[in-house]
Chain A
Amino acid sequence: MTMFKPETDAAVLEAVQWAVSEEQPLEIVGHGSKRAIGNEVGAEHVLDLSGLSGITLYEPEELVLSARAGTPLAEIEAAVAACGQELAFEPMDYGPLLGEQPGRGTIGGVLAANLSGPRRLKAGAARDHILGIHAVSGRGEAFKSGGRVVKNVTGYDLSKALANSWGTLAVATDVTFKVLPAAETETTLVVSGLLDDIAVAAMGLALGSSAEVSGAAHLPYPAVTRVAGAALGSDPATLLRVEGFGPSVAYRIGLLRQLLEKAGPMQEIEAEASRALWREVRDCIPFASVPHMPVWRVSMPPADGHNMVMALRMQAAVEAFYDWQGGLVWLAMAAGDPEAGLVRSLVQKCGGGHATLVRATPQQRAEIPVFQPQPPALAALSARLKAEFDPKNILNPGRMASAPERTIEGASS
């Protein structure tokens, strides 16, 4: 095994060119904090980008930041926070869920995994904030796309193509993101005691109001007991976050109270305590303490997710909680079996979307396509795109595999 740890773009290019010429696959890593996500990569050699680090441009008044791909996310978040700004898409930290240290991960990994957080429903994901990239394709060629300005339609948006590509299309060497002012303050309204379907309806009402809700999560038992130091009790908690200027936050929390006054008992969690709570929701902390359970990340139409969970509960022992107004469902499979066929067929049956097996044993990941298998025409198109970037399949081969022979069986019982 060879470990390449380049510190310049030129050295990345050289490493990939060598891999191309020798037809030797490479595993692409930053900090390796999300290495346990995806199918097993069949590569003997590692291209470690953590040495390619540093913020190269940050102009707060222009709302733009550029950094080399291996720059720690923590370094970037600290730099923008010092100027009252943030990455508005609130990238989650998979560390705790995957049994790794928290606070690791690089900005290149943020793009490759298209990370986001609770604010996804208002502010989008990494793909909505990436402005430009420099990268090396699996052909061993350096290219760039996009730029450093927000409004840009010059040519195809290859920056977005790299979002959620998990290092299988190209190796990003530099990334440029839009940054935004951080909210002055925030308050979370907690409504207690709602069943899943009522909670989803309440969140829908809140999101459809002019309260500009920037986070809407629902924590049934036992997930609710594993956040905020168990201070929320054991009754289900529905969380609605409002951010902005002080007087505006107070007014909009009042709006929500009026809107949901008959729903159930309410309390408010303010400022830093609210921020801490949403970090726990963001990082899937309720399932960090049950490491033996496989975890699914399911994306569905917000109003439909809870129907899938209800149907699933009839057939499997499962813990669940919801973010994104119900559109992001985290599932922990209590019996240790991911039940891939069952989960994915119920997702299709209950409104559509996709399920990613983000935590599982190496053996499970060897047997189950971690990423949702696609219909044939879309799978073929994705494969052709991969071939145009990486014709010799040397970048993270197999990581996003959903091999056709691994057909998904429908729910049988």
Chain B
Amino acid sequence: MTGLAMPEPDAATLARRAEIVAGLRAIVPGEGVVETVNEMRAFESDGLTAYRQLPLVVVLPETTAQVSRVLEYCNERNIRVVPRGSGTSLSGGALPLEDAVLLVMSRFNRILEIDYPNRAVVAQPGVTNLGITHAVEGDGFYYAPDPSSQIACSIGGNVAENSGGVHCLKYGLTANNLLGIEMVLMNGEVVRLGGRHLDAEGYDLLGVMTGSEGLLGVVTEVTVRILRKPETARALLIGFPANEQGGQCVADIIGAGIIPGGMEMMDLPAIRAAEDFVHAGYPLDCEALLIVELDGPAVEVDHLIGLVEQIAIRNGSTSCRISQSEEERLTFWAGRKAAFPAVGRISPDYYCMDGTIPRKELPRVLAGMRELSEHYGLRVANVFHAGDGNLHPLILYDANVPGELDKAESFGADILRLCVKVGGVLTGEHGVGVEKRDLMPEMFSEADLDQQMRVKCAFDPNHLLNPGKVFPQLRRCAELGRMHIHRGQMPFPDIPRF
């Protein structure tokens, strides 16, 4: 690990390992407890493979009652717990700790109910994102959020990360498509939030849980809303001589009142890599490539395709192809969807970043990235969820060259600082995890972070659930709860009083 400080392992817990394994076996019998080094290797890392750590022990419960008993057992003995879904996190959210039980939710893999009258699906958290769509697509429905890892990532993990995807500009993130959850708190209590009704009562704990990266509770059941699949979808593939024009085209489309189902941009290095890989017929004489997808009834899609084409021409597009068949539409997407592996072919390693910026700042941020690229001597390719300003710069490096990983990480951190500087944020959809943890002060003051940690205290006062993630510095809840009261006079000469 390159300079990543994790919480000091608890010696007492390490010393009691055999006893803990036995205790967990008493709760989860059979093959539900994995403890040999060989078997635990599969769990030592998630999608952020630069970091690896074997856990204390792995437990794979099958029921909510088992999850509850495991957490209660650990809570009473002050044992840390790291929850894990499918392990596709790109930010190290499921990175194990040496002294922590790794709680793997993969056996929670059943769809519990499909409720068409209420357009809801109730699923266990280990069901994959795509698994939900597969369960209902025969009847013409789908689940809208579509992170690119959807074939593997779990719906419980989507809740933890508030996952998005290509379609979230129009259809929203996980938070906007989630109706309810059952979860277990670190003390073993089982709590249900929301249900099949549209708004949950009381404080919006469902909103707080979504994107909380496994630090507040372990989700054991998920209820999501499903949608009727649009009748048609068509895409435009538009080339621009400069990023500025591509960016302006995106702004003009939205300014015209059009919210496309998907709107993606790629820069020249990404276009080249993708074209070399999948031969999608991407133009190579442009600096920026825009894919705009419209979905809905054919009459609407055809109408909007015409409007978008005119906007593209007004912005100086050098090429504009409109998909004439479903096959052609999928070809347009093939290059974009293969962009990451395509970049993987032109470089031994790449490091994927995930900042979000106000869209108008795109030219400035891309220019800044070019300067940083020269400074660090590393290439960068960009794919960009253009509709919502979510950038995925891919920094190309070679881990076998000493120092290059460090350089790539510094480059990435500088990109994220730039995103924050122009009014953006550190992460749009991959999460903070361990990866961006130490950059949190770039965006938040100490008071901001303290208030977030106090929320953690309401759920898990002993910081036992997924510690070392999200927050750069852990502070005890007792210390966070202390009030610093400025006692004194009623100091309001400047407040009108009546």
Contacts and interface: CB of A to CB of B under 8 A. Distances in A.
A169 B161 contact: no
A11 B199 contact: no
A328 to B, nearest CB: 7
A381 B185 contact: yes
Nearest to B196: A301
Contacts of A11: 492, 494-495
B82 interface: no
Nearest to B250: A61
A3 B492 CA distance: 12
Interface in B216-231: 228-231
Contact of B385 (A4, A151, A210, A301): A151
B303 to A, nearest CB: 6
B455 A244 contact: no
B189 to A, nearest CB: 4
Contact of B228 (A15, A209, A381): A209
B201 A157 contact: no
A371 B431 CA distance: 34
A380 to B, nearest CB: 8
B202 A149 contact: no
A333 interface: no
Contact of A21 (B115, B120, B140, B488): B488
Contact of A156 (B140, B164, B228, B452): B452
A234 interface: no
Contacts of B450: 141, 143
A327 B496 CA distance: 44
A378 B429 contact: no
B327 to A, nearest CB: 22
A125 B485 contact: no
B300 A382 contact: no
Nearest to A385: B458
A140 B230 CA distance: 49
A154 interface: yes
A116 interface: yes
Interface residues on B, range: 35 or more
Contacts of B141: 208
Interface string A289-327: 000000000011111100000000000000000001001
Given A151-B385, A245-B303, A161 B356 contact: no
Nearest to A141: B447
Nearest to A7: B496
B198 A245 contact: no
Nearest to B225: A121
A158 interface: yes
Given A62-B359, A124-B176, A248-B299, A181 B254 contact: yes
Contacts of A389: 451, 454
A120 B198 contact: yes
Given A61-B254, A137-B451, A210-B230, A388 B197 contact: no
Contact of A374 (B118, B202, B389): B202
A121 B187 CA distance: 35
A21 B212 CA distance: 32
A117 B207 CA distance: 19
Contacts of A156: 208, 211-212, 452, 455-456
A409 to B, nearest CB: 19
Interface in A13-43: 14-15, 17-18, 20-21
B257 A151 contact: no
B264 interface: no
Interface in A361-401: 371-372, 374-375, 377-378, 381-382, 384-389, 391-392, 400
Given A141-B451, A158-B452, A149 B204 contact: no
B320 interface: no
A374 B356 CA distance: 37
B175 interface: yes
B482 to A, nearest CB: 10
A371 B207 CA distance: 19
A245 B481 contact: no
B492 A164 contact: no
Contacts of A352: 195-197
A99 B206 CA distance: 33
Contacts of B429: 151, 153
A148 B119 contact: no
A163 B173 CA distance: 17
A60 interface: yes
A60 B255 contact: yes
Given A3-B498, A302-B118, A15 B492 contact: yes
Contacts of A266: none
Greatest chain A CB density within 10 A among B201, B436, B445 is at B201
Interface string B91-128: 00000000000000000000000011111100000000
B486 A17 contact: yes
A110 B483 CA distance: 30
B358 A327 contact: no
Interface string A338-376: 000000000000011110100000000000000110110
Interface string B333-372: 0000000000000000000000011111000000000000
Interface in B236-265: 251-252, 254-255, 257-259
Contact of A18 (B119, B208, B491): B491
Contacts of A165: 203-204
Contacts of B430: 153
A207 interface: yes
B205 A382 contact: yes
B118 A388 contact: no
Given A4-B492, A156-B452, A150 B193 contact: no
A336 interface: no
B204 A150 contact: no
Contact of A353 (B115, B195, B358, B444): B195
A143 B448 contact: yes
Contacts of B211: 153, 156-157
B201 A210 contact: no
Interface in A225-252: 244-245, 247-248, 251-252
B304 A378 contact: no
Given A147-B425, A371-B202, A61 B360 contact: yes
Q: Which 3 A-B pairs have the closest CB atoms?
A: A160-B207, A248-B300, A181-B257
Interface of B: 115-120, 140-141, 161-162, 164, 168-169, 172-173, 175-176, 185, 189-193, 195-205, 207-208, 210-212, 228-231, 251-252, 254-255, 257-259, 296-297, 299-300, 303-304, 356-360, 385, 388-390, 423-432, 436, 440, 443-445, 447-452, 454-459, 470, 481, 483, 485-488, 490-492, 494-498
22 contacts: A18-B491, A21-B485, A121-B198, A144-B448, A147-B423, A151-B356, A152-B428, A154-B440, A157-B162, A169-B203, A245-B303, A245-B304, A251-B297, A301-B115, A301-B196, A302-B196, A352-B197, A354-B197, A374-B201, A381-B185, A384-B458, A386-B203
